[in-house]
Structure 1
Amino acid sequence: MPHLHPGDPIDSLQLTAINGQTIDVPHPEALTHLQFRRFAGCPMCNLHIHSFVRRHDELRQTGIQEVAVFHSSTADLLAQHAHAPFALIADPHKALYRQFGVEAGWHAIWDPRSWPAGVRGLLRHGFGLPGQGESMLGLPADFLIAPDGRVLAVHYGSHADDQWPLDELLALAKSLAPSKA
């Protein structure tokens, strides 16, 4: 599928999180941040996800439903991220990746801009190799979706560590949230 753009509608989805909870995307009353990460043991993804775990209360206070998709199995995600206070979606066959136009390529890991985060992630979380069906070549992507299903903002990463930092997401959400008249 081609890339989505701000203003594009998405079809309503019911996803099953790794804890068995059903998640509606979009959320009927909150903004949804749908983030696509690489594989469960990815050092850069672990750094990123842990920053969202630490500051999850800020996401909720801003009115954001957080949903993170990995092209990993449920078992691999539970082994790495069972403690996450938000929905993690296992998509080992990359159906959602295709639906949202999220890509992969060698530039994911060969781009030197991703290397510092890779080293920090290795030092903090250890070395995680991709499991069966996973790939180091995945690229991240972020979508901010309104309750009516419109894409408010989107970012397709150009390398493995190219995603919205939490502060940027919070600022986007505050500036783009539908006004409550």
Structure 2
Amino acid sequence: MLEPGSVVPARLLTSVTSVTHLAAGAASASASASASVSASVSVPDPERLVHLQFRRFAGCPVCHLHLRSVVRRHAEIEAAGIREVVLFHSSAEELRPHVADFPFAVIADPRQRLYREFGVESSPRSLLDPRAWGPVLWAIARSAAEVVRGRERLPAPRQPNGRLGLPADLLIGPDGGVLAAKYGEHVYDQWSVDELLRLAAARYPVGAAGTSA
């Protein structure tokens, strides 16, 4: 993991093989993905903070359990001067039916190019950690109910990039600096919306990036 104040010498979409994790104070690699499900997306954003979320595969019940909280509070997140960008390691075709109602950018990264660039890992502990078991059971039950109601779809039975991905959250400033970072220790180890808002307010008050509430 990089120490605060470190700099990542990365080019556009170039894999950073010497970096494990980015930490607060590091400079993020610029990221642009033409495979975005919604539109072309660029990071950093010169006018706003970017909350870059690395999730797992399309239709992942645990990912959707968390992202629904982001959807419900998206207006509040935007008012704080934060832009949400969410990545999945699935294809755009597979992602579209699962994220059609998300009010933020979703990027398909089936080759995990950005996952490698930002040091996001996979590990058996994503599901084996006892702290994950409760959220996993609740997420599966919730997803099953939504599938029965026709509101969600089951994930594809085969996942080329596996089911053991760990989540990661990065808060990136307009200059590309990483203001805060969290690399999850299990599948449901990520910032809550409240944590995100607190971090943004402490590290980059609304208005500093040219935004206003």
Q: 2:173 aligns with which of 119, 143, 146?
A: 146
Contact 2:57 2:159 in 1 (8 A): no
State the 1:129 CA deviation: 5.3
| Partner of residue 159 from structure 1, selected from 157, 178, 186 | 186
Structure 1 counterpart SS, 2:165: coil
Structure 1 residue 100, shift from structure 2 partner: 0.4
Alignment of 1:110 onto 2:128: yes
User: Does the CA contact (< 8 Å) of 1:31 and 1:146 recur in 2?
Assistant: yes
- Measured in 1, the distance between the counterparts of 2:28 and 2:172 equals 8
> Secondary structure of 2:132's partner?
helix
CA contact (8 A) 2:22 2:119 kept: yes
Q: Which protein shows a greater Rg?
A: 2
Decide whether the 8 Å contact of 1:10 with 1:150 is kept in 2: yes
Helix, strand or coil at the partner of 2:58: coil
Unpaired runs of at least 5, structure 1: none
Q: Does 1:75 align with 2:93?
A: yes
Question: How is 1:31-180 mapped onto 2 (pairs within 5 angstroms)?
Answer: 31-126=49-144, 128=155, 131-177=158-204, 180=208
For 2:21 and 2:44, how far apart are their aligned partners in 1? 18
CA displacement 1:2-44 (0-9 Å, x = unmatched): 211111112322223202x121201111000001011112111
TM-score normalised according to structure 2 size: 0.80
> What amino acid is the match of 1:106?
P
Matched, 1:8 2:26: yes
Match of 2:37? 18
- Secondary structure class of the residue paired with 1:144: strand
Offset from partner CA, 1:44-73 (integer Å, 9 cap, x none): 101011111111101110000100001111
Length, aligned pairs only: 180
| 1:58-90: CA deviation from partner (whole Å, max 9, x where unpaired) | 111000010000111112211211110000011
Contact 1:15 1:25 in 2 (8 A): no
Q: Which amino acid aligns with 1:63?
A: G
Q: Does structure 1 conserve the Cα–Cα contact (< 8 Å) formed by 2:115 and 2:121? A: yes
Distance 2:20 2:161 in 1: 22
